[in-house]
């Protein structure tokens, strides 16, 4: 336990997954705000939008028409950031300051539902299970590609996070190399395992369950909490209670429980400011095609941009861009505010 005076004064906290520090300034929460004020986002009122490129039966850019799908729907991104035909794997010249290497990849879009107006918190348990199943199927199918080293499943929700469309959807990028953040996490899992002969997140999970200071909600399979080292004001981490390294190791019951925790956590988010809560969310799974992933503990990150209301956003600028991320509201206060929200959606 940290001494109380340290808790209330500026201090640094270490993120053991990235081995980076965050500066916490609890005394600063009362400062006035004369900056940018956003519009509070609400879900779409339309169940079907004739102008939406993700709704069933509509045409996408390039003219391909979506089928009349009834559950989930996956397609290859029409504007992919990565291309499969690129020859990757050429070694970089370590002597050069102008190092560039080709990168192969493939990008898909997953529609969670045919309904334009739904979001994860407003979907049924069956519908959420279908989303988890489609993630697992896509993960398995992408891993059959010999050069795939990592599969990133992520959802950008809300205009504030750059989502191009309110229709419930996520993206999947599979790449030939391990991206920066998973690379750091992999190194941390491996170093902890070598040193302590235990899993970093199994140990962290036990500690959070004992302390109960930052746990927002849980079920038999998963725990949602505000991590001790959170950077974004209402950042959360979802941990599997069992040590698994990917979706592919989850039992059928655990897949239902993942849907359940996603629903409950996102309801709490929406209820916090009575808005369609924006975030970037992603699954962090072990790298593909190698044995080193066994030390990896399956988890999801939610990075929401809101600060003190539905209309005031946190900007990562200034000191944070140039030095170290910083937060005013402590992770314990953020957790307390999320715990105080109801698990019945404010619109239901
Ligand atoms: P975001 O809302 O997270 O931006 O995801 C939407 C994705 O959909 C985006 O990556 C793709 C964009 O390239 N897209 C298509 O594949 N086809 C379209 O007709 C429009 C958008
Ligand atoms: Zn739509």
State whether residue 28 is helix, strand or coil: helix
Residue 61 CA: which ligand 1 atom is closest?
19
CA of 84 to the centre of ligand 1 (A): 18
More confident residue, 306 or 318: 318
* Residue of 38, 10, 32 lying closest to 326 (CA atoms): 10
Q: Which of 116, 167, 169, 297 is catalytic?
A: 169
As a whole number, mean pLDDT of residues 274-294 equals 92
CA distance 118 to 100: 41
Looking at residue 99, its pLDDT comes to 87
- What's the sign of the alpha-carbon dihedral 211, 217, 221, 227? negative
As a whole number, mean pLDDT of residues 167-172 equals 97
Q: How many CB atoms lie within 10 A of CB 323?
A: 10
State whether residue 21 is helix, strand or coil: strand
Across the chain, mean pLDDT equals 92
Ligand 1 pocket test: pick from 77, 157, 278, 280 the residue with the most ligand atoms within 8 Å of its Cβ. Answer: 77
Looking at residue 160, its pLDDT comes to 78
Question: CATH classification of 15-23+35-90+99-339 is 3.30.497.10, yes or no?
Answer: no
The residue whose CA is least distant from atom 13 of ligand 1 is 79
Q: Which residue blocks in the chain are alpha helix, DSSP H?
A: 4-8, 125-142, 180-196, 200-211, 252-273, 319-322, 331-339
Looking at residue 87, its pLDDT comes to 74
CA distance 53 to 223: 35
Crossing angle for the helix pair 252-273 and 331-339, to the nearest 10 degrees: 100
H/E stretch holding 156 reads strand 150-157
Looking at residue 28, its pLDDT comes to 75
Cβ–Cβ < 8 Å for 178, 288: no
The residue whose CA is least distant from atom 1 of ligand 1 is 163
Looking at residue 102, its pLDDT comes to 92
* Residue of 208, 275, 298 lying closest to 267 (CA atoms): 275
Q: What share of the chain is helix, strand, coil (3-state, %, to 5)?
A: 30, 20, 50
Strands 105-111 and 169-175: antiparallel
**Model confidence band, residue 313 (pLDDT cutoffs 50, 70, 90):** confident
Domain boundaries, the chain: 15-23+35-90+99-339
**Model confidence band, residue 121 (pLDDT cutoffs 50, 70, 90):** very high
CA distance 63 to 243: 44
**Model confidence band, residue 89 (pLDDT cutoffs 50, 70, 90):** low
As a whole number, mean pLDDT of residues 231-248 equals 97
Looking at residue 248, its pLDDT comes to 97
Looking at residue 31, its pLDDT comes to 63
CA distance 84 to 18: 29
CA of 311 to the centre of ligand 2 (A): 25
The residue whose CA is least distant from atom 11 of ligand 1 is 77
In tens, the pLDDT along 171-216 reads 999 999 999 999 999 999 999 999 999 999 999 999 999 999 999 9
pLDDT score of 98 more than 90: no
Looking at residue 38, its pLDDT comes to 67
Ligand 1 pocket test: pick from 78, 108, 163, 166 the residue with the most ligand atoms within 8 Å of its Cβ. Answer: 78
Q: Please give the share of the chain, as a percent, with pLDDT higher than 90.
A: 77
| 243 has catalytic annotation | no
In tens, the pLDDT along 11-60 reads 999 999 999 999 999 877 666 655 666 667 787 889 999 999 999 999 99
Residue 156 CA: which ligand 1 atom is closest?
3
Give the binding-site residues of ligand 1, using a 6 Å CB cut-off: 53, 60-61, 77-79, 109, 156, 163-165, 171
CA of 334 to the centre of ligand 1 (A): 32
């Amino acid at each position: 336990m940290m001494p109380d005076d340290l808790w209330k004064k500026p201090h640094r906290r270490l993120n053991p997954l990235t081995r980076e520090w965050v500066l916490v300034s609890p005394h600063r929460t009362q400062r006035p705000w004369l900056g940018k004020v956003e519009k509070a986002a609400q879900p779409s009122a339309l169940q079907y939008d004739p102008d939406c490129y993700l709704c069933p039966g509509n045409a996408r850019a390039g003219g391909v028409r979506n089928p009349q799908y009834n559950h989930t729907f996956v397609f290859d991104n029409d504007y992919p950031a990565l291309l499969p035909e690129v020859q990757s794997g050429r070694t970089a010249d370590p002597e050069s300051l102008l190092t560039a290497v080709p990168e192969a990849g493939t990008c898909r879009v997953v529609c969670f539902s045919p309904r334009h107006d739904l979001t994860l918190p407003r979907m049924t348990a069956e519908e959420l299970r279908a989303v988890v199943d489609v993630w697992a199927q896509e993960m398995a199918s992408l891993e059959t590609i010999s050069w795939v080293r990592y599969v990133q499943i992520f959802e950008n929700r809300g205009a504030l996070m750059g989502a191009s469309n309110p229709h419930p959807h996520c993206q999947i990028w599979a790449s030939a190399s391990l991206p920066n953040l998973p690379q750091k996490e992999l190194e941390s899992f491996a170093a902890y395992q070598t040193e302590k002969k235990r899993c970093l997140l199994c140990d962290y999970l036990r500690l959070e369950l004992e302390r109960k200071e930052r746990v927002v909600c849980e079920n038999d399979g998963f725990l949602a909490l505000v991590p001790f080292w959170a950077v974004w004001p209402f950042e959360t981490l979802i941990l599997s209670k069992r040590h698994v390294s990917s979706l592919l190791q989850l039992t059928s019951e655990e897949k239902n429980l993942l849907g359940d925790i996603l629903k409950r956590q996102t309801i709490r988010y929406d209820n916090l400011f009575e808005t369609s809560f924006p975030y970037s969310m992603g699954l962090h799974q072990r790298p593909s095609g190698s044995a080193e992933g066994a030390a990896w503990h399956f988890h999801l990150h939610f990075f929401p941009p809101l600060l003190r209301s539905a209309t005031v956003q946190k900007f990562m600028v200034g000191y944070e861009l140039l030095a170290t991320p910083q937060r005013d509201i402590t992770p314990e206060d953020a957790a307390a505010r999320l715990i105080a929200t109801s698990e019945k959606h404010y619109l239901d």
